[in-house]
Amino acid sequence: MKVSFGIQQKVKASGLLLGIMLVLVLTSLSMKQVVRDLDQVVASVYVDRLQPAVDLVYLSENLHAKRLLLDSYLADQSTGSASVLKAQLKRYDTGSSQLIHQLERTKLSASEANWLRTFKANRNQYIRLEHNVLHLEASGQHQAAVHLFKTPGEELFHQGVLALHELAHIQDQTGQNEVKVAHRQAAGSSIHATLLLAVALIIGLLLLSLIHTAKLPDRKPQPFHLN
């Protein structure tokens, strides 16, 4: 009976340890996946949200700088600086094209992609308008150039600014959502860590129990005498 009881205890202990090991393995794998997902979210926040937000600021600066350059040129009526102005506008256009290309390589939502297409179309129209303004000014039609710049040009300019503002707003909202996802994943990782700690404590208590059981003295029954 004693041998049978000892075997039963060992089987129970082995089964319990096996269950605990399975819990540890599954929890560790789950934590590994959580950490991997969290790393991807953090990388996405930087690559797809923070950096594009900076690019949008530069695009807005380029748009305003071009507007100011052409406005100053028309106000001065200095046809001698037309070549310099064209070179400056070209430099801003090249920089904006590079920024747009960088934005297109990021992960865009459907709304972001739509507003980016809107901005690109508006930008192309505005570039053509600038060429027409310069052509009118060079041909001596100053008032026509000013009218084109001030009326249709003003509307196109504001449409471009609006598209950039919408893109920035969507970037902000999407970035906040991704941060919330990261917080939830971090909370899940904390729960897994707590579970691992609890399992470790259970293993410790189980080992102490086994050690205590193994140290119990093997008391043999003493012979009973009537005298």
The stretch 13-20 carries a mean pLDDT of 68
C-alpha–C-alpha distance, residues 201 and 195, integer Å = 10
Q: What percent of the chain lies above the pLDDT cut of 90?
A: 41
Residue pLDDT, tens place only, 134-154 = 999 989 899 999 999 999 999
C-alpha–C-alpha distance, residues 96 and 130, integer Å = 15
C-alpha–C-alpha distance, residues 117 and 124, integer Å = 11
Q: Are 118 and 163 in contact (CB under 8 A)?
A: yes
H helices present in the chain, as ranges: 2-44, 51-76, 82-104, 110-138, 142-150, 152-215
- Please indicate, yes or no, if residue 210 is contained in any of the structural domains: no
Q: Are 134 and 82 in contact (CB under 8 A)?
A: yes
pLDDT at 186 over 90: no
Highest averaged pLDDT of the listed ranges 1-5, 33-37, 128-132: 128-132
- Which residue has 């303004």 as its token pair? 133
C-alpha–C-alpha distance, residues 162 and 97, integer Å = 18
- Please indicate, yes or no, if residue 57 is contained in any of the structural domains: yes
- Please indicate, yes or no, if residue 105 is contained in any of the structural domains: yes
Residue pLDDT, tens place only, 51-91 = 888 899 999 999 999 999 999 999 886 555 788 899 999 99
* Amino acid at position 38, single letter: L
- Please indicate, yes or no, if residue 116 is contained in any of the structural domains: yes
Q: Are 182 and 38 in contact (CB under 8 A)?
A: yes
C-alpha–C-alpha distance, residues 54 and 102, integer Å = 11
- Which residue has 């865009």 as its token pair? 108
- Please indicate, yes or no, if residue 141 is contained in any of the structural domains: yes
- Please indicate, yes or no, if residue 42 is contained in any of the structural domains: no
Burial of residue 133 (CB within 10 Å: 0-12, 13-18, 19+) is: buried
Higher pLDDT, 181 or 93: 93
- Please indicate, yes or no, if residue 153 is contained in any of the structural domains: yes
Higher pLDDT, 72 or 14: 72
CATH number of 148's domain: 1.20.1440.210
Give residue 39's pLDDT: 62
**How many CA atoms lie less than 13 Å away from 185 in the CB half-sphere?**
19
pLDDT at 129 over 90: yes
- Residue 89 belongs to what domain range? 48-178
Domain count, the chain: 1
pTM over 0.85: no
- Please indicate, yes or no, if residue 67 is contained in any of the structural domains: yes
Residue pLDDT, tens place only, 95-105 = 999 999 999 98
